[in-house]
Chain A
Amino acid sequence: MDIFVQQLVNSLSVASVTILIGIGITLIFGLAGIVNFAHGEFLMVGGMATWFMAGAGMNFFVALVFAGLLVGALGFAAERCLFRFTLNRPMNGFIMSIGLSVILQHAVIRVFNEFQKSITDPVGLVWTIGGVDIIAMRAIVVAITVVIVAITYFGISRSRYGMALRASVSDRDTAELMGIPVRRYVTGVFIYGSLLAGIGGALMISLFPITPFTGSVIIIRGFAVSLIGGLGNVGGAVVGGLVLGLVDGLSAGYGYPEWTDAYSLVVMILILVLRPQGLLGGTLGPKAS
């Protein structure tokens, strides 16, 4: 039982990172129709920035905020300088994002190097709750993610901006006819999704070492998560992240850890065969106009 609870917390902390990247992927796809392949590198850049700042003596949680802002700014630049030109041709945007991901990997290697980086556990505590030992940082990662998911979810379902965002996702032209500045929402979603990737990167490096190539691994998981839940559906990204995180964590604890990625992808394939629209139902992306 103890092992099970520990595995559960571990799974949830891994799931957290995947959920954060999945939300960004799903939002950007839903509104802009762009499958941003560089989103994993955004996360990696966030992790590397955190490593650099923590190494320079900055408090981890301050570094996390800066990593979020830095990657948010990166997303802003990418949208303004690149992706806005491919809005009407999402396939071009997709291909461009593959190029961007390679450029970012090599930029990081150029600035730092190709070796893996890690930071010491920023909290360094183990909490004993009900006789079960839990690494405090892992619980904190889960808590931060819960807060971010709640803010995102209520922002989208309750606020005026969220309502306009949903309208833009479901029918871009008509949303514009109602006076909704859809282009600005696209930029906003890029910034927000990238910010979450930056925070996800910071949280990830607090759990595991990362390399300049971590992004290309994590992006696959991010897509799996968004697809399992339904692309374009934020609730879906959360459910997908939990499913994948649990499969991962539990298989690592009880089965053959070297097969964890295979398990998760088999689960993804099964879900997509049985429910092609994802567990919660997604969009097909913006309708071509």
Chain B
Amino acid sequence: MGNVLLLAEHRQGALRDITFEMMAIAPKVAEDMGGEVTALLIGSGMDDMAKKLSEYGVKVQVIDDPVFENFNAEKYQKVLSALIDEKKPAVLMTGQTAQGVDFMPALAVEKKLPLVAEAVGLEYVDGTLKATRQMYSGKVSASVAFKPAETYLVTIREGAVEAPEPAAAGSVEKIDSPFKEDITYRKFVEYIEAEVGDVDITQSEILIAVGRGLKEDKNMPLIEELAQGIKADVAGSRAATDAGWIPHDRQVGTSGKTVKPKLYLAMGISGAFQHVAGMKGAKTVVAINKDPEAPIFAVADYAIVDDMFKVVPALQEKLKELKG
């Protein structure tokens, strides 16, 4: 039996995106291995989440107990350890998230089971389970196999695949918690929400960064509108944060933040060495600057030598056209 046990991740009463993303991987693997997917929910009071999960055509098992009201890696490890013994799933899968990395390695060591961390793909080919991992900042994809074992552990990178649409009705079943005695050595203290409106630009996929070329604060709406259109976050050079156009925690550079978006749009930024050092992790760089000698062009994949106030409206226009 090649069953896949998928541990759903949730926070503050809502399922995390990674849970749905794993639905793009788990059913195919289970099918190829001749088994089925069981989605496991651990927590307290999760009827809505269980229903939502079951809409993916999977069997949802719920461990509903007040002791799991808040995430605790040790408790999760104990539950999963017992379930591995009991259910002997072929694959135990969860997200490569702050939660997943907190217990999966420990679980692998405890159970002496092979773990592939941060996989972007998983498939069962010719009787072998193979995971795909990215190396060298995504320049190389490595296909890795597991050491033969009864259960394979894998964590899936967030945002690696697109979540599918709900497929078919599944089932929901409450099961008993194998976790009997509460632990006291690690306790939940407080949940601290990040400040409202606080964007962590180090995690942004698309960034528009403005520099001195913005000239004045009243030009910001133009940039914000474009950002909205392409789902980008807005950051700035030191000059832009000094001028107060951009909050200080969104400064890119050696004395600010180091960013690694898939797309970096540098607008009116000359590209001082200290700024460029903060954005060298960007996959694709588009630079707009009036000065053809601006050093930013040395690191840009696409260079537009023109006034940003001419280029941005043109981009907006094109964007509208594309969106129909």
Q: Do A and B come from one complex?
A: no
Binding site for B on A (CB under 8 A): none
- B residues sitting closer than 8 Å to A (CB atoms) are none
